[in-house]
Amino acid sequence: MGTQRVMALATSVVGQPDVRMVGFSYDPEEKILYFVTYPESRKVEQIGKNGKVVFVTLPGEPIACVRGEGVARLSSRTCEDVAPVFERKRPGYMERIGPFRDRLALFEVTFEEVSVILSD
């Protein structure tokens, strides 16, 4: 979770799954996964109807990924509040999103446990 940068995030509304790739950062102290997105995106609409999500990180080295089920919601924190979490994984991230920051929403995913999937 500390090195992988992208996850497949699955939402579901009325039994219809929808999966997309999303950049993320993970705060191991708070045990919260964060991502930013445009508030008018389809995933935000879907999360508003059903916050239950499934995520799988893209494989890193060695080939492994992390899978978890959780609840996504609009965060009460701001991007500035969690800037250290983003910057640890992606130095310069806050500067890169600077021109768009006022148009982005911060979401968090909370979960109880994850599975690590190793390849053969």
Q: Are 7 and 19 in contact (CB under 8 A)?
A: no
19 vs 56: CA distance, rounded Å: 10
Q: What is residue 120's predicted lDDT score, i.e. its pLDDT?
A: 58
> How buried is residue 78: exposed, middle or buried, by Cβ count under 10 Å (0-12/13-18/19+)?
exposed
Name the residue among 73, 21, 80, 78 with its Cα closest to residue 48.
Answer: 73
Q: What is the mean pLDDT of residues 73-95?
A: 91
Using CA atoms, how far apart are residues 44 and 51, in angstroms rounded to an integer?
Answer: 9
Give percent helix, percent strand, percent coil of the chain, each to the nearest 5.
20, 45, 30
* Domains defined for the chain, CATH in brackets: 6-118 (2.30.110.10)
Helix (H, G, I), strand (E, B) or coil at 31: coil
pLDDT band at 118, cuts 50/70/90? Answer: confident
What's the whole-number mean pLDDT along residues 40-52?
95
**Which pLDDT tens digit goes with each residue over 26-40?**
999 999 999 999 999
Q: Fill in the amino acid letter for 81.
A: D
The share of the chain scoring above pLDDT 90, in percent, equals 60
